[in-house]
């Protein structure tokens, strides 16, 4: 068995990093400033591009390239089949949401994310060193085009079966996402997201044993102990999301950042109440009410996302944490209010001390 530090060094050398710390791609929380600072500290920057039009993807990459020579990845969700629409049920959800924000018109449920094929073309135009997928595998024609451009493909997986499928489809790296993770669960099959909740301590060694490609660990890692543990279990690098969201470079709503700092592991929960896809957030008053037995079950993705937009926007403007889409992983309270470059550097220095 290679030592944890040797494995991490090989990963860094292959992907042009100085240290094995990756910023997690986070749609809606991918400020260029965050990637610039992480990459300048020697880690990997990241953009969760799900909600970005092609022009916004190009300008994000240009801004990051103007601020750093370091590496970054661009990330997309693999689209689900079109959702089944049930206007009567949606009306019950809209009635429920009217108790939490403005009245929701029926057409709010029609909102759809930008065109996936056009976003992929933007990725190929930017030609970053790495792209990553979540919620499924990239189609084989895209994989072939990525390989032709020497762009590495990192596939987010949340089970051993998904890891094997990703390797088979040509992924260069799998990102093993434990159920502790903040934000959406990246399960390939939306319906299985709550049933297949695997914790990172069980997931990393099982995935490392199942595939030959390097494994990145993500979910609930937010300090040097977590980084060292992930590498000890066989991961080549650690990817961090929530743990960086209180850094000033993240630029998220102050009420959300403050709440992350006081959220215990048991105060986050996985639900579908924001978007229709399962994701881990702070268990706010809205989340508790919308998951109560008497509440209407959420509409499917992305209908529910459209229906909750008005409430989320009002919540964010008012700084009202109870109505903000407050994604957070189980290690939220470990997140530091410090410059992200300092956090990245000291995470790795301390983790190396633990591993030496």
Ligand X SMILES: Cc1cc2nc3c(=O)[nH]c(=O)nc-3n(C[C@H](O)[C@H](O)[C@H](O)COP(=O)(O)O)c2cc1C
Among 159, 271, 309, 331, binds ligand X (CB under 6 A): 331
Kindly state the smallest distance separating residue 106's Cβ from ligand X, in Å: 27
**Residues in a beta bridge with 42:** none
Is 20 a residue that touches ligand X (CB under 6 A)?
no
Among 31, 38, 44, 50, binds ligand X (CB under 6 A): 50
Q: What are phi and psi of 149, to 5 degrees?
A: -95, 10
Among 70, 182, 234, 341, binds ligand X (CB under 6 A): 182
Which stretch of DSSP H or E encloses residue 206?
helix 200-210
Is 12 a residue that touches ligand X (CB under 6 A)?
no
Q: Which stretch binds ligand X (CB under 6 A): 31-39, 218-226, 263-271, 339-347?
A: 218-226
Name the CA radius of gyration of the chain, rounded. Answer: 19
Do 177 and 158 form a contact (C-beta atoms < 8 A)? yes
Q: Which stretch binds ligand X (CB under 6 A): 87-95, 187-195, 305-313, 325-333?
A: 325-333
- Concatenating the DSSP letter of every residue in 109-175 gives GG--PPPHHHHHHHHHHH--SEEEEESS---HHHHHHHHHTT-EEEEEESSHHHHHHHHHTT-SEEE
Is 302 a residue that touches ligand X (CB under 6 A)?
no
Among 73, 158, 218, 268, binds ligand X (CB under 6 A): 218
Is 134 a residue that touches ligand X (CB under 6 A)?
yes
* Per rule CB under 6 A, count of chain residues that contact ligand X: 28
Kindly state the smallest distance separating residue 133's Cβ from ligand X, in Å: 8
Q: Any residues with CB less than 8 A from the CB of 179 and at least 6 apart, and which?
A: 158, 185, 197, 198, 199, 200, 219, 270, 280
Q: Specify the 3-state DSSP secondary structure of 214.
A: coil
Do 183 and 26 form a contact (C-beta atoms < 8 A)? yes
C-beta of 114 vs 296, nearer to ligand X = 114
Q: Please give the residue ranges that form the binding site for ligand X (CB under 6 A).
A: 24-27, 29, 48, 50, 75, 134, 156, 177, 180-184, 186, 218-221, 240-243, 327, 329, 331
């Amino acid at each position: 068995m290679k030592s944890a530090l040797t494995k991490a060094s090989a990963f860094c050398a292959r992907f042009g990093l100085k240290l094995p710390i990756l910023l997690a791609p986070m749609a809606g929380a991918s400020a260029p400033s965050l990637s610039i600072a992480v990459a300048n500290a020697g880690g990997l920057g990241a953009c969760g591009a799900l909600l970005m039009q092609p022009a916004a993807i190009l300008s994000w990459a240009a801004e990051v390239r103007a601020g750093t020579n370091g590496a970054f990845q661009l990330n997309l969700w693999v689209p689900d089949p079109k959702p089944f629409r049930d206007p009567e049920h949606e009306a019950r959800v809209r009635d429920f949401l009217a108790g939490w924000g403005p009245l929701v018109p029926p057409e709010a449920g029609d909102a759809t994310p930008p065109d996936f094929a056009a976003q992929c073309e933007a990725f190929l135009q930017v030609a970053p060193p790495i792209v990553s997928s979540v919620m499924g595998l990239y189609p084989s024609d895209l994989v072939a085009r990525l390989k032709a451009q020497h762009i590495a493909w990192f596939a987010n997986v949340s089970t051993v079966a998904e890891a094997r499928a990703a390797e088979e489809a040509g992924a260069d790296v799998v990102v093993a996402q434990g159920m502790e993770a903040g934000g959406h669960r990246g399960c390939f099959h939306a319906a299985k997201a709550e049933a297949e909740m695997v914790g990172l301590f069980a997931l990393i060694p099982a995935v490392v044993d199942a595939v030959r490609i390097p494994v990145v660990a993500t979910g609930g890692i937010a300090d040097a102990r977590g980084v060292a543990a992930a590498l000890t279990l066989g991961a080549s690098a650690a990817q961090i999301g929530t743990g960086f969201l209180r850094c000033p470079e993240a630029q998220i709503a102050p009420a959300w950042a403050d709440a992350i700092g006081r959220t215990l592991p048991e105060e986050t929960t996985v639900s579908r109440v924001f978007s229709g896809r399962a994701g881990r957030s702070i268990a706010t008053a809205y989340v508790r009410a919308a998951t109560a037995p008497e509440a209407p079950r959420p509409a499917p993705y992305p209908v529910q996302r459209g229906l909750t937009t008005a409430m989320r926007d009002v919540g964010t403007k008012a700084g009202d944490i109870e109505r903000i889409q407050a994604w957070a992983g189980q290690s939220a309270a470990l997140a530091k209010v410090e410059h992200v470059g300092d956090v990245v550097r000291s995470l790795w220095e301390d983790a190396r001390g633990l591993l030496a």
